[in-house]
Chains A and B, each alone.
Chain A
Amino acid sequence: MLRLDGPLVPNILLKLTTRSFEPRRATRVRIRDRDDEIIDEAVVTLFPAPGSFTGNHTAEISLHGSPFLVERCISEALHLGARLAEPGEFSERAVLNGKIDLLQAEAIVDLIESRSVLQASLALSHLGGSFSRAAEEIRGELLELLTLLEGALDFADEGYEFIRRDQLLDRLKKLNRRLELLAGTFRRGRAVREGIRLVLLGQPNAGKSTLLNLLVGSDRAIVTAVPGTTRDLLRETIEMAGLPVTVVDTAGLRETEDVVEGIGVERAHAAAEEAEIVLYLVDARFGIVEADRQELTRHPGAFILYTKRDLADPPEGCWSIAATTGDGLDDLLSRLTSVTRERFDLGSAGPAITNQRQLTAVEQGYEAVASAIRAVESDTTEEFVAVDLYRAAGALEALTGAISAADARAEVFSRFCIGK
């Protein structure tokens, strides 16, 4: 499909099809080139400004798929004054025209790049404005508090009480709790957007590669009885709990003279430190030995999984598997899924921060409100508290990118309603 956007669209369409179009109605029509030769029979829909996605005149042309036909049609459009779009330019135009805000534009990118159901549905919810509304609610509360503070400053001699200090403090603290919770959604948002990493650690021959092959469902890793077979990191992606999960097989952890294996061991540690989930594999026949204890102190968050349970009984109630037969796989997956869901709060609906830009804005808002709270607690007068609250409001405005600071101030002002 070909999409045209901009003020020249009706003109170009007229030249390509020699007819006019009803708004938003898919119409079958012949596309002709400058020599009046038919390029293709296409379906054309015109979305006139300002009701289109970008706010400009937009047309969508569905052709018969052959790259050759599409090429010809593009070259005709270029001939008639069009140019190729820059990456993301349609969304950029929509932002410029105020049709969507920055959060929604970012959701579009996430949607296009989505690799899992969860990511797609979070992006869709953001695109629908769920995040923007959450940001707007917090900003609205900030503006309301600002209006009260400003009233107290500008109408101090009227004998009205705008807000008591304890009420102000209470509302500020609630506000900061909301910002804190919102900042906390980054765990979920990042997990949903970027997926998570599951690192398999353990002594040589604990069965890590066998487990990787089992999880992936193919013989991805070379498995031998020789300890130290895996030297480098091996990564495979599976889906779990609705997320893309990168499973990382690592070199067995042991003291070694072998330079290559030594590097592999270091990489294993590094991977585990960055990973969201670490599985530490223990051969059920030997149980946890001194060497394991040392490794586990280094990776305290790791889950212990007993392997080769077909050869020896693991301790009661522990995670275990027989990776060669696949016995215990379902159980392991369901345990991992529930850990993931819990750890990344995947059960929550609602918007979540998905990138660093958003996180920075929310954290700035949090920091500014925290500073306002300290100011109120130390009995600083309203004009100073207001400085922090305007900063906080500014951070939330930056989050959506839709409102200017001047507009925000005007908004505070329009709420003023008092007299002398």
Chain B
Amino acid sequence: MNRHFDVIVIGGGHAGAEASRAAARRGLRVALVTMSRDAIARMSCNPAIGGLAKGHLVKEIDALGGLMAQATDQSAIQYKLLNRSKGPAVQGPRAQCDRDLYPRAVQSILGREANITIIEGSATRLISSGTSAVRGVLLDGNEELLAKATIVTSGTFLRGLMHFGEEKKVGGRFDEPSAETLSDSLRELGLKLGRLKTGTPPRVHRDSLDLSRMEEQPGDRTPRTFSIDTDGVRLPQVLCWLTRTTELTHSLIRENLHRAPMYSGQIEGVGPRYCPSIEDKVVRFADKAHHHVFVEPEGLSTDWIYLNGISTSLPTDVQERVVRSITGLENAAIARFGYAVEYDFVNPQQLLPTLQVRGVQGLFLAGQINGTSGYEEAAAQGLIAGINAAASVLRESEFILRRDQAYIGVLIDDLVTLGTEEPYRMFTSRAEHRLLLGCDSVYERLTPLGAKLGIVSADRLQRAEARTSRMRAVQEQLESTDVNPDAPTRLWSEAFGAAVTSPTSAAKLLTRMALEGIHVDADGAPGPELAAALGSFLELNEEEREGVVSRIRYAGYLDKQEREAARLRQDDHARIPVGFSFERPGFSREVQEKLDRIRPHSLGQASRIPGVTPAAVSLLRMYLRQEASGGRTTDRASESLS
């Protein structure tokens, strides 16, 4: 038996959900294959979305018409803006979510897409024509699903192996089976696979904790929701707590290191350097007497608590003692033990920036299978893979975001250009044009692109456009409003610690004032023009206000980054034709091998390959120019003699 679709998505995680929806919104018939309908968008690890740089990804997904931000707002039980003391470009919105409500929110969004057919089952192998095209997938060994494009978002399920201390169990997630045979299909297509691992911490019952011994971590007073579609907070908000490990914790871990699979050599996969297990942290930061542990409720209707910061694969008996050595957790009752999971991943250097496998028509990969960690990184890739799979079915041009356009552009360019040897996590420092990629400008940068693709709803587009023009208008009004140091203005401005002593503009004045508590007096103290400008400024929401002020205050830095980005953009636009030969005089063998392996699609990408020197880039630029002008390449081949 077989069924035909336009796009098949294998896996219903955060990548699979975005991929399915993006393709469906293009009007394509999508099959979403998942082992269990209820498991769609399950939060395997921490019940939180966003954070530093990850929050940026979520906003970008929203701006492009994705679903993650919306689902987050429908299930958020605590909002917190990280890095509040820094500039807006590096602030990261984060939300603690209800573990049950988040997947339900995603499922209901997907349920509204008539084009998506959810099929419960396990993909046993890919159906391909030779090694150059994939035509679909074989389900549970008997049913064939056929489509022009297949997106594999297998998460940690490819030959997933869980470790609880010495105990091993085959599976992709607690109590869920793994996908054992799909890896073979990928290998048969010539793909190189590797092994990664990740871990999750133990969960405990709330009533067994002594919260009075921990520091309360309330959410923000004025929560910043994620999606531009959201008006206000939906759910009751909760507290989190902060506690820390003790010397006893550290000595327990040190004594039992030999029983931790990573140290005993039981796990072959490489672990996440940026989200290490507590074993890792104790060993690596031996001089630190304590580590933070964030105590986070998993939802409104559960008493499970997530212990953020102590992901571990220690055996259960040790885990229990480790947990109970932490301040306030002395009597903790463990609800579920932490574990490590190992899984297959595909070196993403084998992908095009569209996330299509290079040289294999109709096969796209997204999410953890590409070596990333994190829901947000997965969702971002899912969205792009969905968009490009749809584009390939519809024979439209590919959709690639540049590094100066979006963190998503940085993410995918990093993956396909640099590859990864450990689970890849997004950081603001990975983006060289970070100042241009603040959350405040995300709708301005990306929503028009999403709208052009037809995946942004009319409502979201309208809100985004209104927001953009609102912010621009206010900025212009502030910049064109002159402020004179007359007595009433001086008196008024002194109250905000920014006394006006010489003529200035409302914009400049604003950058010197403490933003909190600015108000315009009923008697119109600062004068009608300034009052009007400030009045329109105050009508913006907090995020928009900060955006406007930072654009004024840091205009010099923004200009510098914009100029630099514009310079590099030219290289990104210099496309390298498919089939272009890098076997040319002047390239060292090393450089040539690297270019051949990555097969960069643009001069810009070539310049970012490690070890490709500026000299080699100049030479490549010259060859591309010659090729473009149709001229015969001057033969520098040849031997030279003197």
A contact residues vs B (CB 8 Å cutoff): 2-9, 12, 49-50, 55, 74, 77, 81-86, 89-90, 93, 95-98, 150, 153-154, 156-159, 381-384, 386-387, 390-391, 397, 401-407, 409-410, 412-413, 416-420
13 A-B pairs whose Cβ atoms sit less than 8 Å apart in the complex: A6-B637, A82-B638, A83-B640, A85-B642, A89-B640, A93-B586, A153-B90, A153-B429, A154-B53, A391-B560, A401-B613, A410-B610, A420-B309
In contact, A419 and B642 (Cβ under 8 angstroms): no
Interface segment, B33-41, B109-117, B272-280?
B272-280
Interface size on B, residues (CB 8 A): 57
Q: Does B435 contact A (CB under 8 A)?
A: yes
In contact, B614 and A409 (Cβ under 8 angstroms): no
- B273's partner among A89, A386, A419 (CB-CB below 8 A) is A419
In contact, A3 and B275 (Cβ under 8 angstroms): no
B604–chain A nearest beta-carbon distance, Å: 10
In the complex formed, the residue of A with least CB distance to B403 is A406
In contact, A418 and B87 (Cβ under 8 angstroms): no
In contact, B589 and A50 (Cβ under 8 angstroms): yes
- A158's partner among B292, B429, B588, B607 (CB-CB below 8 A) is B292
CA distance A418 to B276 in the complex (A): 8
In contact, B86 and A156 (Cβ under 8 angstroms): yes
Contact A77:B53 (CB < 8 A) given known A96-B587, A404-B617, A407-B610: no
- B641's partner among A74, A150, A413 (CB-CB below 8 A) is A74
In contact, B554 and A384 (Cβ under 8 angstroms): yes
Q: Which residues of B contact A55 (CB under 8 A)?
A: 588
Contact A409:B640 (CB < 8 A) given known A154-B427, A159-B292, A381-B85: no
In contact, B428 and A6 (Cβ under 8 angstroms): no
Q: Which residues of B contact A83 (CB under 8 A)?
A: 635, 638-641
CA distance A372 to B614 in the complex (A): 26
Q: Which residues of B contact A50 (CB under 8 A)?
A: 588-589
- B274's partner among A93, A153, A420 (CB-CB below 8 A) is A420
Contact A154:B428 (CB < 8 A) given known A96-B619, A381-B85: yes
In the complex formed, the residue of B with least CB distance to A387 is B557
In the complex formed, the residue of B with least CB distance to A49 is B589
A155–chain B nearest beta-carbon distance, Å: 8
CA distance A153 to B428 in the complex (A): 8
Q: Does B207 contact A (CB under 8 A)?
A: no
Q: Which residues of B contact A6 (CB under 8 A)?
A: 585, 637-640
Q: Does B52 contact A (CB under 8 A)?
A: yes
Q: Considering the complex of A and B, which 8 residue pairs feature the smallest CB-CB distances, nearest first?
A: A85-B640, A82-B639, A419-B276, A6-B639, A406-B608, A150-B429, A97-B588, A381-B86
A89–chain B nearest beta-carbon distance, Å: 5
In contact, A383 and B90 (Cβ under 8 angstroms): yes
Contact A417:B273 (CB < 8 A) given known A159-B292, A383-B87, A404-B614: yes
A5–chain B nearest beta-carbon distance, Å: 6
B contact residues vs A (CB 8 Å cutoff): 52-53, 82-83, 85-87, 89-90, 273-276, 280-281, 284, 292, 308-309, 418, 427-430, 432, 434-435, 554, 557, 560-561, 585-591, 607-617, 619, 635, 637-642
B92–chain A nearest beta-carbon distance, Å: 9
Other A-B pairs, 10, CB within 8 Å; known A156-B82, A417-B284? A5-B641, A9-B639, A55-B588, A95-B615, A154-B428, A159-B292, A401-B613, A404-B613, A404-B617, A419-B284
B273–chain A nearest beta-carbon distance, Å: 7
In the complex formed, the residue of A with least CB distance to B290 is A159
CA distance A77 to B612 in the complex (A): 32
B200–chain A nearest beta-carbon distance, Å: 13
In contact, B432 and A405 (Cβ under 8 angstroms): yes
In contact, B429 and A390 (Cβ under 8 angstroms): no
In contact, B613 and A402 (Cβ under 8 angstroms): yes
Q: Which residues of B contact A154 (CB under 8 A)?
A: 52-53, 427-429
In the complex formed, the residue of A with least CB distance to B278 is A419
CA distance A8 to B638 in the complex (A): 8
Q: Which residues of A contact B435 (CB under 8 A)?
A: 383-384, 387
Q: Which residues of A contact B587 (CB under 8 A)?
A: 96
CA distance A159 to B53 in the complex (A): 18
A145–chain B nearest beta-carbon distance, Å: 13
In the complex formed, the residue of A with least CB distance to B427 is A154
Q: Which residues of A contact B617 (CB under 8 A)?
A: 404
In the complex formed, the residue of B with least CB distance to A418 is B274
In the complex formed, the residue of B with least CB distance to A85 is B640
Q: Which residues of B contact A9 (CB under 8 A)?
A: 639
Q: Which residues of A contact B589 (CB under 8 A)?
A: 49-50
- B614's partner among A7, A82, A401 (CB-CB below 8 A) is A401
Q: Which residues of A contact B82 (CB under 8 A)?
A: 156-157
In contact, A98 and B588 (Cβ under 8 angstroms): yes
Q: Which residues of A contact B608 (CB under 8 A)?
A: 404, 406
In the complex formed, the residue of B with least CB distance to A82 is B639
In contact, B639 and A404 (Cβ under 8 angstroms): no
Q: Which residues of B contact A416 (CB under 8 A)?
A: 273-274, 427, 429
Q: Which residues of B contact A95 (CB under 8 A)?
A: 615
CA distance A410 to B615 in the complex (A): 19
In contact, A84 and B641 (Cβ under 8 angstroms): yes
- A2's partner among B585, B609, B613, B642 (CB-CB below 8 A) is B642
CA distance A3 to B274 in the complex (A): 52
Contact A383:B284 (CB < 8 A) given known A95-B615, A401-B614: no
In contact, B274 and A419 (Cβ under 8 angstroms): yes
Contact A156:B640 (CB < 8 A) given known A401-B615, A406-B608: no
B240–chain A nearest beta-carbon distance, Å: 12
CA distance A105 to B493 in the complex (A): 60
Q: Which residues of B contact A159 (CB under 8 A)?
A: 292
Q: Which residues of A contact B638 (CB under 8 A)?
A: 6, 8, 81-83
In contact, B639 and A420 (Cβ under 8 angstroms): no
- A407's partner among B284, B429, B434, B611 (CB-CB below 8 A) is B611
In contact, B52 and A85 (Cβ under 8 angstroms): no
CA distance A276 to B638 in the complex (A): 47
Q: Which residues of B contact A417 (CB under 8 A)?
A: 273, 284
In contact, B86 and A5 (Cβ under 8 angstroms): no
A411–chain B nearest beta-carbon distance, Å: 9
- B615's partner among A7, A96, A153 (CB-CB below 8 A) is A96
A185–chain B nearest beta-carbon distance, Å: 24
CA distance A386 to B430 in the complex (A): 12
A394–chain B nearest beta-carbon distance, Å: 9
CA distance A348 to B554 in the complex (A): 43
In contact, A98 and B613 (Cβ under 8 angstroms): yes
In the complex formed, the residue of B with least CB distance to A397 is B614
In contact, A12 and B639 (Cβ under 8 angstroms): yes
Q: Which residues of B contact A2 (CB under 8 A)?
A: 641-642
CA distance A406 to B284 in the complex (A): 28
In contact, A409 and B639 (Cβ under 8 angstroms): no
- B639's partner among A81, A98, A412 (CB-CB below 8 A) is A81
CA distance A159 to B82 in the complex (A): 13
In the complex formed, the residue of B with least CB distance to A408 is B432
Q: Which residues of B contact A86 (CB under 8 A)?
A: 640
CA distance A402 to B588 in the complex (A): 14
In contact, A409 and B432 (Cβ under 8 angstroms): yes
CA distance A217 to B607 in the complex (A): 58
CA distance A416 to B426 in the complex (A): 13
CA distance A97 to B615 in the complex (A): 9
